[in-house]
């Protein structure tokens, strides 16, 4: 069996056709030219998830990394691995600090990515400066790792406003709560960049539950049909609030969904930052070189409840959680880097200090009681307020001034 | 391959060959004609072509809008003139069309997108309500979404179900969306240019039964008016107009109901009653000033709309006018709207649609004996 949606023979250079169907030709050409494998071997994920460093912190022999021809991944460089480890430690500290701030009542809510930090860090580090990322509400650590100020990142969860940073300045979409709707925005950003001849890559994030949404399908299909440089990155953390993946999909894996759109899919150990950097790094490189979109599924686990309002003990067993404790992304990376002589006590202390500095910044920033301006309600609905909004703004101002006068 | 598209800031320095050809064609058309009889469809088509010529960040996409020119032919010739990178077909998925437009607008483009029919726009509702309408507010103005969502709407064409909905109330109810609806050929051009120029998203509701209505229009004059407005930073956006002056009562209508209201006013004139007709034009923002000035003058009003009356734009208009003009009113404001039923099958739609007789009956009820 071969896969060739445009019904041209594999390996044959399809000419630029009048109907513009260069799409599968592109993917087919990609597979054959770059990897010497069939289109189906290119598009289907490797038979096993890609894992480079196992849960004990040992580098797998190349033959046991889950790879097969066309799916081999190079070990990222030492500097990249150290930078990733530093971000892992910072990310973990951010997660735990924010959860504490919620318990103290200084934030309304915080969807923690505790346990998923490897995905967060790799998503941010695999991109170049001009690239875009579209995060979900659980991806605050990735947002910060892209350079957004930690306190600004937390604006949404503190409840001052819906977003605290300028998406166009940082090339970071605002954290999205309606599931998968942001994937289409990623597609649009990539499409605009492509039309202008720019080599921007866009990384679009969602979770396992989100793959059931219609916009997941529409975004992947649009990206494939328009042959856009989008890397779809699914963090499969096993649960959509309380509902396990088996109730969302019976596909062989979420990465297998890629082939239905004519794009390549890969699955990776989502707690192995080494494998994530390798797989996402290659996906970004391929997308930038014109491969069209790719789909990467990371197997990870949401170690804590959905949010502080959730009770995870109602739907999952402690024994299951314990299995994932053993697969912790930080611990294995620490072991691996220490064993390789890349990380010593001084280095670890320096990184811990950096993480503590970010935590302090969060505590201090979120501890401040920032005054809110009630007139902001009206200020940004339109570029120019309508006469009706001006009336309502005046009404509220009058109400407030009368309240003040009565005090 | 498709030509590279530039952002609006670069437009004056880098006009593509296709755009230059379009400019020459537009200029030739204008020179050779002067005032001419054209359809609303042609006016809308010309507005898009002119906007695409003026700014290469203006893109048109949707279902069947490319080689076919749209099922109503409103985008006819745009792909041929501007190339497939400027006017193109998308996969058949409305949420995808709107969601992709959001991303494109975030990244420097001005998408003008077509929803094929009113009821087929509903899959895009989440993108419209949760993102298109809110992005500017969520980001405190950092992200502007200059998107025009064109929706052929309302009935009167004998369409089968799901092809004739009056969906304007859904959008008007959503904070952050402008909602425009032209009723005349000239306004088709004028308002679509203004919508494309708007930095805020616009739901552009096109009365599909009026697509083939004709009028004598001076396109060159409209282009000059648009250029002058652009230079002065003014526009007719957000303003209602007096479509027919009168003294005894005000008929307030928009979109497909404006010609019906004008016909009712003409019939009333024969019976010696002078009705003023207001064409609302812009549902959001709403022009309280023009509407209320008319009602204060006449003291009587009937609001006319094809949409169901319950919880609708027409109920909003009655509420607004009543709040502002109570002491000027000689009678309660009446409404002539569609019944609160799903849009009927073709053989029944004439019972449903507001017609001249129903409007005149409502006018007769405005307590003239006092």
User: Which 3-state string (H, E, C) describes B185-224?
Assistant: HHHHHHHHHHHHHCCCCEEEEEEHHHCCCEEEECHHHHHH
**pLDDT confidence of residue A21:** 44
Confidence of residue A356 (pLDDT cuts 50, 70, 90): very high
pLDDT at B180 over 60: yes
Cβ B255 vs Cβ B153: under 8 Å: yes
Cβ B278 vs Cβ B317: under 8 Å: no
- B282-284 and B178-180 as β-strands: parallel, antiparallel, unpaired? antiparallel
Contact B200 A383 (CB under 8 A): yes
Length of chain B: 370
Mutation target to probe the A interface, by most A beta carbons within 10 A, among B14, B90, B107 is B107
Q: Which of B12, B53, B136, B163 is catalytic?
A: B163
| Alpha-carbon span A46 to A255, nearest angstrom | 10
Cβ A172 vs Cβ A143: under 8 Å: yes
- Comparing CA positions, the residue from A223, A231, A229 lying closest to residue A290 is A229
Cβ B281 vs Cβ B182: under 8 Å: yes
**pLDDT confidence of residue A3:** 39
Contact B99 A195 (CB under 8 A): no
- DSSP for residue A62: G
Question: Can you give the C-alpha Rg of chain B in angstroms?
Answer: 21
| Alpha-carbon span B171 to B312, nearest angstrom | 11
Output the CA torsion B62→B63→B66→B70 (10° steps).
-100
pLDDT at A177 over 80: yes
**pLDDT confidence of residue B29:** 52
Compare all CA atoms of chain B with the CA of A187 and give the residue at the minimum distance: B100
**pLDDT confidence of residue B22:** 54
| Alpha-carbon span A349 to A73, nearest angstrom | 31
For chain B, what percentages of helix, strand and coil (3-state, to nearest 5) are there? 45, 20, 35
**pLDDT confidence of residue B103:** 98
| Alpha-carbon span A387 to B171, nearest angstrom | 18
Other residues' Cβ atoms within 10 Å of the Cβ of residue A6 = 14
- DSSP for residue B13: G
**pLDDT confidence of residue B370:** 57
Neighbouring-strand partners of residue A268: A50, A298
Write out the H or E segment, with its range, that includes residue A19.
none
pLDDT over 70 percentage in chain A: 94
**pLDDT confidence of residue B34:** 82
Most confident of A102-106, B31-35, B221-225: B221-225
Q: What are phi and psi of B259, to 5 degrees?
A: -60, -35
pLDDT at B17 over 70: no
- From chain B, the residues in CB contact with A174 under 8 A are 135, 138-139
**pLDDT confidence of residue B237:** 83
**pLDDT confidence of residue A19:** 42
Cβ B246 vs Cβ B275: under 8 Å: yes
Contact A162 B288 (CB under 8 A): no
CB proximity list for B200: less than 8 A, separation 6 or greater: A382, A383, A384, B136, B144, B145, B146, B176, B177, B178
Nearest to A222 among B1, B91, B130 (CB): B91
pLDDT at A402 over 50: yes
Residue B240 forms contact with A (CB below 8 Å): no
Residue B143 forms contact with A (CB below 8 Å): yes
Cβ A365 vs Cβ A372: under 8 Å: no
**pLDDT confidence of residue B25:** 56
Compare all CA atoms of chain A with the CA of B132 and give the residue at the minimum distance: A185
Question: Can you give the C-alpha Rg of chain A in angstroms?
Answer: 23
Shortest Cα distance, chain A CAs vs residue B266, angstroms: 33
The phi-psi region of residue B166 (left if phi > 0; otherwise alpha if psi is between -120 and 50; otherwise beta) is beta
- Comparing CA positions, the residue from B293, B266, B257, B295 lying closest to residue B360 is B266
pLDDT at A70 over 80: yes
pLDDT digits (tens, 9 = 90+) for A246-281: 999 999 999 999 999 999 999 999 999 999 999 999
Tell me the average pLDDT across B257-267: 98
The phi-psi region of residue B367 (left if phi > 0; otherwise alpha if psi is between -120 and 50; otherwise beta) is left
Cβ A277 vs Cβ A122: under 8 Å: yes
pLDDT averaged over every residue in chain A: 91
**pLDDT confidence of residue A10:** 39
**pLDDT confidence of residue A22:** 45
pLDDT at B21 over 80: no
pLDDT over 70 percentage in chain B: 91
pLDDT at B9 over 70: no
- From chain A, the residues in CB contact with B108 under 8 A are 192, 196
CB pairs under 8 A between A and B: 151
Neighbouring-strand partners of residue A264: A294
pLDDT digits (tens, 9 = 90+) for B44-99: 999 999 999 999 999 999 999 999 999 999 999 999 999 999 999 999 999 999 99
**What's this model's pTM, rounded to 2 decimal places?**
0.92
pLDDT averaged over every residue in chain B: 92
Confidence of residue A24 (pLDDT cuts 50, 70, 90): low
Buried residues in B284-296 as b, exposed as e (16+ CB within 10 A): bbbbbebbbbbbe
Tell me the average pLDDT across A170-180: 94
ipTM over cut 0.95: no
Q: Which of A356-360, B28-32, B332-336 has the lowest mean pLDDT?
A: B28-32
| Alpha-carbon span B149 to B110, nearest angstrom | 11
| Alpha-carbon span A151 to A160, nearest angstrom | 11
| Alpha-carbon span A343 to A81, nearest angstrom | 10
| Alpha-carbon span A152 to A169, nearest angstrom | 13
- Comparing CA positions, the residue from A47, A99, A162, A254 lying closest to residue B134 is A162
pLDDT at A304 over 60: yes
Longest dimension (CA), chain A: 82
pLDDT digits (tens, 9 = 90+) for B129-179: 999 999 999 999 999 999 999 999 999 999 999 999 999 999 999 999 999
Compare all CA atoms of chain A with the CA of B93 and give the residue at the minimum distance: A218
Output the CA torsion B30→B33→B39→B43 (10° steps).
10
Q: Which of A11-15, A78-82, A124-128, A219-223 has the lowest mean pLDDT?
A: A11-15
Active site residue B12: no
Cβ A197 vs Cβ A206: under 8 Å: no
Strand, helix or coil at A225? helix
Mutation target to probe the B interface, by most B beta carbons within 10 A, among A196, A213, A230 is A196
User: Rounded to 5 degrees, what angle do the CA atoms B341, B148, A387 make?
Assistant: 80
Confidence of residue B26 (pLDDT cuts 50, 70, 90): low
Q: Which of A9-18, A30-39, A292-301, B311-320 has the lowest mean pLDDT?
A: A9-18
Q: Which of A24-38, A74-88, A294-308 has the lowest mean pLDDT?
A: A24-38
Nearest to A222 among B4, B7, B100 (CB): B100
Shortest Cα distance, chain B CAs vs residue A189, angstroms: 4
Q: How many CA atoms within 13 Å lie on the side-chain side of B288?
A: 15
Classify residue B203 as exposed, middle or buried by CB count within 10 Å of its CB (0-12, 13-18, 19+): buried
């Amino acid at each position: 069996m071969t896969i060739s949606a445009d019904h041209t023979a594999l390996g044959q250079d399809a000419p630029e056709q009048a109907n513009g169907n260069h799409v599968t030709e592109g993917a087919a050409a990609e597979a054959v030219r770059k990897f010497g494998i069939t289109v189906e071997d290119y598009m289907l994920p490797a038979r096993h998830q890609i894992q480079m460093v196992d849960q004990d912190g040992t580098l797998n022999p190349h033959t046991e990394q889950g790879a097969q021809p066309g799916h081999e991944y190079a070990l990222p460089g030492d500097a990249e691995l150290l930078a990733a480890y530093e971000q892992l430690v910072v990310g973990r500290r951010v997660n735990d600090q924010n959860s504490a701030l919620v318990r103290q009542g200084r934030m309304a809510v915080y969807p923690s990515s505790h346990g998923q930090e490897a995905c967060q860090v790799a998503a941010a580090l695999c991109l170049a400066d001009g690239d875009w990322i579209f995060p979900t509400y659980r991806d605050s650590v990735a947002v910060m790792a892209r350079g957004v100020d930690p306190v600004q990142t937390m604006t949404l969860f503190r409840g001052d406003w819906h977003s605290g940073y300028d998406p166009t300045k940082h090339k970071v979409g605002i954290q999205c709560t309606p599931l998968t709707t942001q994937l289409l925005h990623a597609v649009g950003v990539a499409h605009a960049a492509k039309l202008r001849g720019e080599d921007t890559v866009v990384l679009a994030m969602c979770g396992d539950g989100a793959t059931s949404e219609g916009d997941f399908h529409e975004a992947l299909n649009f990206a494939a049909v328009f042959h856009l440089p989008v890397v779809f990155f699914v963090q499969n953390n096993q649960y959509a609030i309380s509902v396990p993946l088996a109730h969302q999909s019976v596909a062989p894996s979420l990465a297998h969904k890629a082939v239905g759109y004519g794009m390549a899919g890969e699955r990776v150990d989502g707690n192995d930052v080494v494998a994530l950097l390798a797989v996402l790094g290659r996906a970004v490189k391929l997308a930038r070189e014109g491969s069209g979109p790719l789909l990467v599924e990371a197997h990870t686990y949401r170690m804590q409840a959905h949010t502080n309002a959730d009770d995870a003990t109602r739907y999952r067993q402690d024994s299951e959680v314990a299995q994932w404790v053993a697969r912790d992304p930080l611990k294995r990376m620490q072991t691996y880097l220490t064993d390789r002589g890349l990380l010593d006590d001084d280095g670890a202390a320096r990184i811990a200090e950096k993480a503590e500095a970010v935590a302090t910044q969060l505590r201090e920033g979120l501890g401040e009681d920032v005054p809110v301006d009630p007139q902001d309600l009206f200020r940004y609905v339109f570029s120019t307020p309508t006469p009706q909004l001006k009336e309502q703004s005046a009404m509220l101002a009058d109400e407030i001034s009368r309240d003040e006068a009565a005090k | 391959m498709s030509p590279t598209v530039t952002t609006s800031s670069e437009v004056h320095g880098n006009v593509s060959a296709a755009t230059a050809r379009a400019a020459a064609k537009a200029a030739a058309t204008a020179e050779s004609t002067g005032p001419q009889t054209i359809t609303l469809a042609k006016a809308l088509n010309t507005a898009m072509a002119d906007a695409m010529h003026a700014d290469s960040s203006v893109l048109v996409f949707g279902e069947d809008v490319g080689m076919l020119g749209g099922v109503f032919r409103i985008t006819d010739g745009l792909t041929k003139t501007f190339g497939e990178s400027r006017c193109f077909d998308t996969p058949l998925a409305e949420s995808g069309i709107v969601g992709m437009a959001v991303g494109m607008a975030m990244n420097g483009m001005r998408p003008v997108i077509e929803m094929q029919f009113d009821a087929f726009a509903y899959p895009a509702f989440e993108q419209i309500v949760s993102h298109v309408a809110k992005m500017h507010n969520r980001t405190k103005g950092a992200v502007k979404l200059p998107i025009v969502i064109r929706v052929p709407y309302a009935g009167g064409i004998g369409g089968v179900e799901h092809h004739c909905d009056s969906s304007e109330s859904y959008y008007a109810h959503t904070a952050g969306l402008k909602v425009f609806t032209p009723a005349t050929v000239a306004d088709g051009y004028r308002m679509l240019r203004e919508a494309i120029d708007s930095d805020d998203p616009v739901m552009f509701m096109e009365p599909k039964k009026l697509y083939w209505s004709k009028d004598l229009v001076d396109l060159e004059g409209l282009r000059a008016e648009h250029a002058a407005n652009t230079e002065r930073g003014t526009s007719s956006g957000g303003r209602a107009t007096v479509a027919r002056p009168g003294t005894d009562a005000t008929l307030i209508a928009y979109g497909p109901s404006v010609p019906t209201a004008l016909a009712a006013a003409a019939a009333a004139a024969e019976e010696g009653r002078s009705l003023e007709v207001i064409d609302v034009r812009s549902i959001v923002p709403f022009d309280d000033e023009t509407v209320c000035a008319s009602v204060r003058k006449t003291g009587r009003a009937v609001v006319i709309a094809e949409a169901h009356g319950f919880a609708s734009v027409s109920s909003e208009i009655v509420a607004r006018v009543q709040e502002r003009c109570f002491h000027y009113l000689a009678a309660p404001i009446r409404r002539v709207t569609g019944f609160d039923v799903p849009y009927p099958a073709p053989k029944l739609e004439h019972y449903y649609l507001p017609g001249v007789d129903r409007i005149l009956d409502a006018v007769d009820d405005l307590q003239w004996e006092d």
